[in-house]
Amino acid sequence: MDKRPIPAWSWSVEQCLKEYNAKLDKGLSSYQVEKQREKYGWNELAKEKGKPLLRLVLEQFDDLLVKILLVAAFISFILAYMHGSESEESGFEAYVEPFVIVLILVLNAIVGVWQETNAEKALEALKEMQCESGKVLRDGYIVPDLPARELVPGDIVELQVGDKVPADMRIAALKTSTLRLEQSALTGEAMPVLKGTSPICPEECELQAKENMVFAGTTVVNGSCVCIVVCTGMNTEIGKIQKQIHEASLEESDTPLKKKLDEFGSRLTTAIGLVCLIVWLINYKNFLSWDMVDGWPANLRFSFEKCTYYFKIAVALAVAAIPEGLPAVITTSLALGTRKMAQKNAIVRKLPSVETLGCTTVICSDKTGTLTTNQMSVAEFFTLGGKTTTSRIFHVEGTTYDPKDGGIVDWTCYNMDANLQVMAEICAVCNDAGIFCDGRLFRATGLPTEAALKVLVEKMGVPDAKMRNKIHDSQLAANYLIDRSTIKLGCCEWWTKRSKRLATLELDTVRKSMSVIVREPTGHNRLLVKVTVIPFFYLVVNSKKA
């Protein structure tokens, strides 16, 4: 059967639904799902078979200089054995030289295998970008947590803020006024991309131009939508990336350092071989003699013992001339360079590749934000004071999403006045971002600016001192221990429970603002507005009844 994905971005929603015989309000039936799975398989990246340990070890000895050292070690061992037999010495001292050579080569192989194994494990991190489950419509019923690997082309999936896209999908309908996705892992563009439902006319277009498609591994930062799955598994864009990585790993191209070492080894072998041959031939009279009769040699006499003796001298000279420590020095230098690069999150698969970076003379980079961490934090904010004409500026420390990273400098407003309360309420409630803990790091779902505002609320606290102490002493302490799950930030949660959201008008590039209607404990409705004017956020509140 033909498994090629359809150009869904250039088709209308009706055409895509007709292609998979799916209905937007009912999804696929169980029978259709089984048929699609037989055709397309499971929605998962292929597990490439790793190299066997023996092959990894043998590859470390696939080098001309290393091969020369192996031959030298073997010859040195034979000479040590013969010398020990002649002198009746069988102690360890006779085998020091071959043992040292072999030990150096073994250490060299261990470092090489260790480094490549670590790189292979690091490449597995690509699979962690895949979503684990999704909200899918099947047989007319919503399956809230269907495993992502069970998705098939034609499935109807609903996405919301913070969701990770489980497959490449065509957007069928928007449930909010705007929809944005963060897809820097695919395009390198750090800014969220605005999405829509209209077909894209040219069938052949770049990834960035497919504004009606969402791709596996990307994250929804604003809005929600209903999508049609069109590509799964290795047919997705992230699957194509893995395929390219695997193909690149199979390419064997020598680095400048390896080429120079091979050239050096070849020249060294030739030079040492010629010198040894000359040394052996110079002493030929000591093991080969003859008499001259009528100008011609006669009565040839050959001494095998002396011939072997001078051959051992020539071989000993060769062993002494080979730099046994060169591979160890090179491997150690490259390993140290690899370690420094690993500390900067740069993965090196093969040790000699480190040297390629040293040969780089020009680095071309763009200004899309891919060289940054794509994190934001509040540096300072200001509000009006007790009097209308009085303004206050507060400086904030900390550059991460960890609420405990830094704080507000000289913060004395623990019992916040009305102005500070309004600002904290807008930052917490008029906000779609979320914070989660990935191991020891705090990360954000949604827009980085909105995540920064939520962290600010945590640093400000809540107006009620007793409630503030209760939150910080118990709830936050417990929530910080959660791994890979959304953290219920204490102060933000206090505001969202106090002011319940009734309606939302998402952030729009035309309006440059986000608005929410909230119900207060008093029963009155309020409109909270967050206006974006680059590079500042202005927080506006309308206290009139809605």
pLDDT tens for each residue of 371-393:
566 788 899 998 887 666 678 88
Q: Is the pLDDT of residue 84 over 50?
A: yes
Q: Per-residue confidence at 75, pLDDT binned at 50, 70, 90?
A: confident
Strands 525-533 vs 536-542: parallel, antiparallel or unpaired = antiparallel
For residue 497, the tally of other CB atoms under 10 A from its CB is 10
Per-residue model confidence (pLDDT) at position 506: 79
What are the residues whose beta carbons fall under 8 Å from the beta carbon of 58, sequence distance 6 or more? none
Q: Is the pLDDT of residue 541 over 60?
A: no
Q: Per the residue annotation, which of 2, 25, 62, 366 is the catalytic one? A: 366
Per-residue model confidence (pLDDT) at position 212: 92
Percentage of residues of the chain with pLDDT beyond 70? 74
Comparing 167-171, 225-229, 250-254, the range with the smallest average pLDDT is: 250-254
Residue 134, strand partner residues: 146
Q: What gap in Å lies between CA 282 and CA 317, rounded to an integer? A: 14
What are the residues whose beta carbons fall under 8 Å from the beta carbon of 375, sequence distance 6 or more? 399, 400, 401, 444, 448, 451, 452
Per-residue model confidence (pLDDT) at position 475: 41
Q: What is the pLDDT of residues 493-515, one digit of tens each?
A: 888 888 888 888 877 767 788 89
Q: Per-residue confidence at 16, pLDDT binned at 50, 70, 90?
A: very high
Q: Per-residue confidence at 357, pLDDT binned at 50, 70, 90?
A: low
Look up 366 and say whether it is catalytic.
yes
Mean pLDDT of the chain: 77
408: DSSP letter = B
For residue 12, the tally of other CB atoms under 10 A from its CB is 14
Instruction: Map tokens 């390219």 to a residue.
Output: 244
Q: pTM above the 0.75 mark?
A: no
| Integer CA distances (angstroms), 233 to 220, 439, 490, in order | 20, 27, 39
- Sheet with 141-147, strands from edge to edge, namely 141-147, 133-138, 156-159, 225-231, 168-174, 213-214
Q: What is the pLDDT of residues 37-70, one digit of tens each?
A: 999 989 988 776 667 777 777 777 777 767 777 7
Task: Pick the more confident residue, 176 or 60.
Answer: 176
User: Helix, strand, coil proportions of the chain in percent (round to 5)?
Assistant: 45, 20, 35
Per-residue model confidence (pLDDT) at position 545: 40
Structure tokens at 116: 């490549």
Three-state DSSP at 292 gives: strand
Q: Which domains does the chain carry? A: 8-39+130-241 (2.70.150.10), 380-498 (3.40.1110.10)
